[in-house]
C-alpha cells in the first residue's frame, strides 16, 4: 500500500477506532472534540498516536489505511451487515 501505511494489523483502542470513524466522516478535530465531549488537544493527541500506530502521515492516508483494514465503512464500502437478532 502506498503512502507508508502499515502492512500489518495494529491494535487500536475503542476510542481510537471511534476517532478514525469520525475522521473518515470528514469531521475536523474541533468537531470531533465537541461530538465526543473531550478537548481538542485530546483529539490531537489521539490522532497523533493513531498516525504513529498505523504508520500513516496524514488524515487521507489514515482513512485509506482504515478502509484497507476494514476499520471504517464509507457509503456502503467495506461494510459488513450486522446479524439481525430478529432473524435468529
Residue 48: C-alpha distances to residues 26, 52, 70, 80 (Å): 17, 6, 20, 28
Specify if 6 maps to a domain: no
Residue 24 pLDDT: 94
Residue 49's CATH number: 1.10.10.10
Residue 70 pLDDT: 86
pTM of the model: 0.77
Residue 1 pLDDT: 45
Q: Mean pLDDT, to the nearest integer, of 2-9? A: 56
2 HSE (CA, 13 A, CB side): 1
Find where cell 430478529 sits. Answer: 86
Specify if 65 maps to a domain: yes
Amino acid at each position: 500500500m502506498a503512502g507508508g501505511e502499515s502492512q500489518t494489523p495494529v491494535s487500536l483502542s475503542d476510542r481510537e477506532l471511534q476517532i478514525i470513524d469520525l475522521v473518515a466522516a470528514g469531521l475536523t478535530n474541533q468537531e470531533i472534540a465537541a461530538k465526543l465531549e473531550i478537548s481538542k488537544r485530546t483529539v490531537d493527541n489521539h490522532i497523533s498516536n493513531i498516525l504513529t500506530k498505523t504508520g500513516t502521515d496524514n488524515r487521507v492516508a489514515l482513512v485509506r489505511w482504515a478502509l484497507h483494514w476494514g476499520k471504517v465503512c464509507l457509503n456502503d464500502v467495506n461494510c459488513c451487515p450486522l446479524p439481525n437478532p430478529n432473524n435468529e
